[in-house]
Amino acid sequence: DGGITQSPKYLFRKEGQNVTLSCEQNLNHDAMYWYRQDPGQGLRLIYYSQIVNDFQKGDIAEGYSVSREKKESFPLTVTSAQKNPTAFYLCASSPGTSGRNTGELFFGEGSRLTVL
Amino acid sequence: QKEVEQNSGPLSVPEGAIASLNCTYSDRVSQSFFWYRQYSGKSPELIMSIYSNGDKEDGRFTAQLNKASQYVSLLIRDSQPSDSATYLCAVQSWGYNKLIFGAGTRLAVHP
């Protein structure tokens, strides 16, 4: 079954700790994305990657870091520099890196991070 | 700053009625338009895409695009309680390989 797997589903973190959210896809998609969703708000782009070993900052990259060492994997690290990290984090992929099908996103189930 | 605006709702419609969800966008060079459905606590799923002016129908869903008015809408015919969700409008501009999402409209279909 093709899809995107995010883990963990729920995560609690103390202030000052870094945490890494996993995202793995077996759809053979080139492009991968990380979004953050806060209650009552739309999705905001954190980072995206269109090819292995390359990634770009999105609109709210401060306090986050990513890597793309393999096509299938795009982990997100929420660092202690992120001032308000409590949110729902969504990983997505798309089949294309340009043109129309970059907007056809497939999402994982999400990771809900709570800072205590 | 590119913006996508949606009425947050909730939009409440009776079962069997037509639900009309609206979205406006600010960037005139926007090329591709998408509707995602998100159930509470779940991740979004793509339900419609539209690229040209006019209507596009898929089952009970119809997307409508008017680029001159910078307006895109989603009609859901014969609404069912299972359609109760938040509907996110997303817009992509030419040469800009990222989507801009609206905050979503919450739809409630009551029996």
Per-residue pLDDT, averaged over B52-75, amounts to 96
Give every strand in the sheet of A4-7, ordered side by side.
A4-7, A19-25, A76-78, A64-66
What percent of chain A has a predicted confidence (pLDDT) above 70?
95
User: For residue B93, is pLDDT > 90?
Assistant: no
pLDDT for the residue B67: 92
Residue type, B25: Y
Three-state secondary-structure class, residue B16: coil
Q: Which chain A residue has the Cα nearest residue B40?
A: A39
Kindly list the residues of chain B whose beta carbon comes within 8 Å of any beta carbon in chain A: 4, 8, 31-32, 34, 36, 42-46, 49, 51, 88, 90, 92, 97-99, 101-104
DSSP B26: S
Kindly list the residues of chain A whose beta carbon comes within 8 Å of any beta carbon in chain B: 31, 40-45, 48, 50, 58, 90, 97-98, 100, 102-110
User: For residue A12, is pLDDT > 70?
Assistant: yes
* DSSP assignment of chain A: ---EEEE-SEEEE-TT--EEEEEEE-S--SEEEEEEE-TT--EEEEEEEEETTEEEE-TT-TTEEE--SBTTB--EEE-TT-S---EEEEEEEES-SSSGGGG--EE---EEEEE-
Better-predicted residue by pLDDT, A107 or B96: A107
Among A42-46, A91-95, A101-105, the minimum mean pLDDT is found in A101-105
Give tens-digit pLDDT for B26-44.
Answer: 987 888 999 999 999 999 9
Residue A87 neighbours by CB distance under 10 Å:
22
Q: How confident is the model at residue B96 (pLDDT cuts 50, 70, 90)?
A: low
Residue type, A49: S
Min Cα distance A44 → chain B (Å) is 7
Count CA within 13 A, CB hemisphere, residue A57: 7
Q: Which chain B residue has the Cα nearest residue A43?
A: B101
- Decide if A110 and B97 are in contact by the 8 Å CB cutoff: no
User: For residue B61, is pLDDT > 90?
Assistant: yes
Distances (CA, A) of B8 to A39, A57, A66, B64, B108: 12, 28, 32, 19, 12
Q: What whole-number distance in Å separates Cα of residue A113 and Cα of residue A28?
A: 27
pLDDT for the residue B27: 83
Q: Which chain A residue has the Cα nearest residue B92?
A: A103
Chosen from B48, B97, B106 to mutate, greatest number of chain A CBs within 10 A: B97
Per-residue pLDDT, averaged over A96-111, amounts to 82
Q: How confident is the model at residue A80 (pLDDT cuts 50, 70, 90)?
A: confident
Residue A103 has its nearest CB partner, among B4, B92, B103, at: B92
Min Cα distance B21 → chain A (Å) is 15
Token pair for A104:
């056809």
Alpha-carbon torsion angle A113, A97, B24, B35, nearest 10: -70
